[in-house]
A and B are shown apart, each in its own frame.
Chain A
Amino acid sequence: MYPQVFDYKDYFTIAGAVFTLLLIGFFLVWFFWDLKTKFNLKEGQQGNMQAPEEEGEDEARWLDKNLLILVLIGTTLVYGLYFVLYYACRVFHASWIAGLYWALCGLFLLILLAYICLSEWYHEEKTYGEVSFFQKLTGRALAKRSRNGGGKGVSA
């Protein structure tokens, strides 16, 4: 039997594991919501599933610059600072920097995922005129519907 010597490393690991499990659970629930609302439609209703991008969407907007900037910051943060983490802990023994590092990484990934989910729900409501998972959870729509029952939509 080992002596229990829990410190910040253990608490961060457990927090990270719980967070990842919650994230998987969240996507699983969203998946079942989509399965129920979008893929059990009766025949003939599935035409609205298709994107209207071929119908004249602004082709120059293929690049989502906001998302790209967020992702680039994230990559730099997670991996650029990894070496700071390594030297802080192994060479200078400043373990509080490791705590700060994991907190920053976790916070940033949370912001990135929140941005992606909100963008997607807005996109679903605006482009496809659907009830998004966000709307199901909160009762509030992110966008005014522009496409009811097959009308042409505008991309988010």
Chain B
Amino acid sequence: MGSGIGSETIHLVDWILVAAYFVGMFFIGMWAYRKVKEFEDFLVAGRALTLPILVGTLMASYYCGMYFFADAGFMYSEGTSADIFYYPPYYLLMILMSFFLMTRLRVLGDISLPDILERFYGKITRFFGAIGSFFYCVPVMQLMACGVVFNVLLGWPAWLGALVGGAFAVLYTLLGGLWAVAVTDMIQFAMMFSGVILSVPIALMAHGGWSNILALNPEWHLDPLGSYTSWIILGVYAASSLTLLVEPAFYQRFFAARDHKTALRAFIVMVCFWLFVDRILVSVGLIAWASYPGFALPIDEAVFTTILHYLPYGISGFFVAGVFAGIMSTIDSYTLIGAANISYDIIKKIFKPDLSEERTLWLTRVMVVATFILSFGLMFIFPRIMMVWLLQAAILTSVAVIPILGAFFWPFRKSAFGGTLSALVGFAATIVYIAAVMVFGTPVPGWDTIIWEVNIFGVTVHLWAEMVVYVSIVVALLAYIVGNFFGTPLDPQLYRERRALS
């Protein structure tokens, strides 16, 4: 094994702090184990989460460890453009779905995304939704990130880092389910962001202020568009934000809140926190460029290295533990949801309705381990992190977005067949599009993507891999309309009851 940057920038005291963090997480898992009496305790923490716990768990599970690498690398290479085009679609969608979608769904009393799909469209759509959600939640990307952190810090092989970090997250999730996840998330959230935030004033003083830092940054770093065109930014980054509409971790937290009002407030507080911490990360990106100008460091490592460079001993350990925390908080969340997609959403709800609470709980714990093993195996199949995320996000979005939105906002004739057909065709369209772009497209290393140039009637169209969401959403919508037209219409009275609060 080699040695990473940790050997140069992190003191023994810091490593002791990191070790203390791992031990602490284990004890929280043990504490949470005693609270789990039945399946609902395990999956949605007995629907008892209060506002501060919700805020912590939302923040920690949303900002996975890749935030300090891939996202932060974007700030390092593109500067302030993220402020204008990268983040706002997320803020806007989050606010709209919190007010107009999730609040209504929470009052209906479901505990998972497939529950909602079955309520409106029946068991077949539930099945597709559960498969899409499971595929999205298999934490391949997070395990890869965990491997990157161990590799950067200690020089360990990526697979070993992924195995150690992932196994630890799975251990406390096995013990306490969402109780363990939520409580550890709050502590992980505080650790993760304290280090980043502290690094900014320290770096400002080291550089003599913003005037010096901005003078060292190129003009495009201060341009609202960065080095991209507005169409690319709109097409690529707005598309990625659509996954928020069906993000299983958000639904799980909303259903785990003690009531819908608390959940809504927690989500808005989370958006407020986004506003603060995203600005801070943009600042660190600019500082990183001033410290290591002209892509002197690999893009994904620049911000992480900059933060470690400026933080004093002791605080560095706090930050490194926070980065591990960020990754583990996402691994634990998604492993838990993915496991429940199989044990609860498919096995119990479709094939074995008489499965007892105890057996469902036991089966979910088995599935937590199985999901982790599957993720670990998939790491070796997908070489690029972004492609994994793209495929996962596109499948879930194409399967679930149109049926979920249609249930509440489609004003015309509706049928169960419409929802099922939309999920099925959306899924197929995603697979076909991604396969076509991967086979016929050309990799673009600087932008970490694949683009397929298609000539249509003499006009060259550039199809980015990231645009899969637009294609699959349009196809899924058409299938939804056709399916609703040909399917047996739902009884309007029954449908009104199903919509409950619309």
The residues of A with any CB-CB pair to B shorter than 8 Å are: 1-7, 9-10, 13-14, 16-21, 23-25, 27-28, 30-31, 34-35, 38-39, 46, 49-51, 53-54, 59-60, 62-64, 67-68, 71, 75, 78-79, 82-83, 86, 90, 109, 112-113, 116-117, 119-120, 123-124, 127-128, 155-156
Contacts and interface: CB of A to CB of B under 8 A. Distances in A.
Interface in B37-92: 46-48, 50-53, 55-56, 83-84, 88, 91-92
A53 B259 contact: yes
The residue among A31, A63, A127 with the most chain B CB atoms within 10 A of its own CB is A31
B329 to A, nearest CB: 15
Contacts of B463: none
Contact of B204 (A14, A24, A53): A14
B126 interface: no
A5 B275 CA distance: 27
Chain B interface SS verdict (over half): helix
B212 interface: yes
Contacts of B449: none
Contact of B275 (A2, A4, A78): A78
Contact of B198 (A17, A35, A51): A17
A3 B211 CA distance: 10
Interface string B238-281: 00000000000000000000111110110011011101110110
B193 A27 contact: no
Interface of B: 35, 46-48, 50-53, 55-56, 83-84, 88, 91-92, 95, 99-100, 103-104, 107, 109, 183, 186, 189-190, 193-194, 197-198, 200-201, 204-212, 222, 224, 258-262, 264-265, 268-269, 271-273, 275-277, 279-280, 283, 500-501
A24 to B, nearest CB: 5
Contact of A62 (B104, B212, B276, B279): B104
B56 A27 contact: yes
Contacts of A71: 95, 99, 268, 271
Q: List 9 tightest A-B contacts by C-beta distance, closest first.
A: A51-B259, A2-B208, A31-B52, A49-B48, A9-B210, A30-B52, A20-B276, A6-B209, A10-B209
B179 to A, nearest CB: 8
Given A62-B103, A86-B224, A109-B272, A75 B48 contact: no
The residue among A51, A78, A113 with the most chain B CB atoms within 10 A of its own CB is A51
Contacts, number: 163
Given A23-B276, A31-B186, A109-B275, A17 B201 contact: yes
Given A68-B99, A123-B262, 17 more contacts: A5-B212, A13-B201, A13-B210, A17-B201, A19-B276, A20-B197, A34-B50, A39-B35, A49-B258, A59-B500, A63-B103, A67-B264, A67-B268, A75-B95, A79-B91, A113-B272, A116-B265
B84 to A, nearest CB: 7
A82 B265 contact: no
Given A34-B53, A75-B92, A28 B276 contact: no
24 contacts: A2-B212, A4-B209, A5-B209, A5-B212, A6-B204, A9-B211, A14-B200, A17-B197, A20-B276, A20-B277, A21-B198, A24-B197, A27-B56, A34-B52, A35-B53, A46-B48, A49-B46, A54-B109, A62-B260, A71-B271, A109-B276, A113-B269, A119-B261, A119-B265
